[in-house]
Amino acid sequence: MFRALSQVAKVKVTMKHRALVIGASGGIGSALSSALLASGAMVTRLSRSADGFDITNPASVEFAMSKIRGPFDTVLIASGILAPASARPEKALAEIDVENMARVVAVNAIGPALVLKNLPRLLPRDARCVVGVLSARVGSISDNHLGGWYSYRASKAAANQIVRTAAIEIARKRKQAIVVSLHPGTVDTSFSKAYTGHSKVAPTEAAANLISALDQLSVTQNGGFFDWAGKPVPW
């Protein structure tokens, strides 16, 4: 009996990496899911098209997230819009429309806040975990030298503040949690059609870059804003 117990004790038990991707049907979200699966992770995906997941609806977010079980080592929130389907990013103050602005802020800032609200119970208490919320460099206030895109810029700046604040709260009970905003670069998806004249990377490359950047982060960088190469982005 004691020999048997000893032999069992020598068996190395490995837990499979678990990941949650919100917005998994989008260009970047789909690529992130595929990259994580290829690395051997067990991936849970949520999206509007596959699950009816409405990131702007509190009841939808709470219901969907109440049905999944953690803990997750990696969580990626990859939902977002540049502008409503019938509109474009504003080029001037005169183009600001209340309903369009409210929609952009709802998807890009309030949506991630609702996910983060329901997330703590799905994170490990005593192990490293990383939560990445896709943001954008144009959400940087100090790095804004061109103007325009009022709703999108404001929504991403708001999302960054939400991420920063959530990172502080989550880390109080989960000391090894790392919650950050991520700038993926300009990715060649339907989302970036308005980025004319920009050099774009394929979604697969962007996903690999983001996962690599997350892997390099330490708890001392909790609450930060980083680009696809893991370099800090100014607030």
Which is nearest to 167 in space by CA: 215, 113, 207? 113
Report how far residue 139's alpha carbon sits from residue 182's, in angstroms, rounded to the nearest whole number: 11
For residues 26 and 111, the model is more confident at: 111
Spell out the domain ranges in the chain: 14-227
At residue 197, the pLDDT reads 54
Mean residue pLDDT across the chain: 90
Which is nearest to 46 in space by CA: 109, 119, 102? 119
Taking residues 37-43, report their average pLDDT. Answer: 96
Taking residues 15-32, report their average pLDDT. Answer: 93
Taking residues 143-158, report their average pLDDT. Answer: 96
36, pLDDT greater than 80: yes
Report how far residue 140's alpha carbon sits from residue 82's, in angstroms, rounded to the nearest whole number: 15
For 35, residues 6+ apart whose C-beta sits below 8 A from its C-beta are 204, 207, 208, 211
122, pLDDT greater than 70: yes
Taking residues 140-164, report their average pLDDT. Answer: 97
Q: How confident is the model at residue 198 (pLDDT cuts 50, 70, 90)?
A: low
Question: Is the CB of residue 60 less than 8 Å from the CB of residue 172?
Answer: no
Give the predicted TM-score (pTM) of the model: 0.88
Which is nearest to 65 in space by CA: 100, 21, 105, 106? 21
Question: Is the CB of residue 104 less than 8 Å from the CB of residue 151?
Answer: yes
At residue 199, the pLDDT reads 73
Question: Is the CB of residue 189 less than 8 Å from the CB of residue 173?
Answer: no
Taking residues 85-108, report their average pLDDT. Answer: 96
Give the DSSP per-residue string, 164-177: HHHHHHHHHH-TTE
Query: Taking the CB of residue 190, how many other CB atoms lie within 10 A of it?
Result: 8
CATH class (in words) of the domain with range 14-227: alpha beta
Report how far residue 166's alpha carbon sits from residue 149's, in angstroms, rounded to the nearest whole number: 26
Q: How confident is the model at residue 193 (pLDDT cuts 50, 70, 90)?
A: low
- Identity of residue 213: A
Q: How confident is the model at residue 187 (pLDDT cuts 50, 70, 90)?
A: confident
Please calculate the CA angle 185-191-193 and round it to the nearest 5 degrees. 90
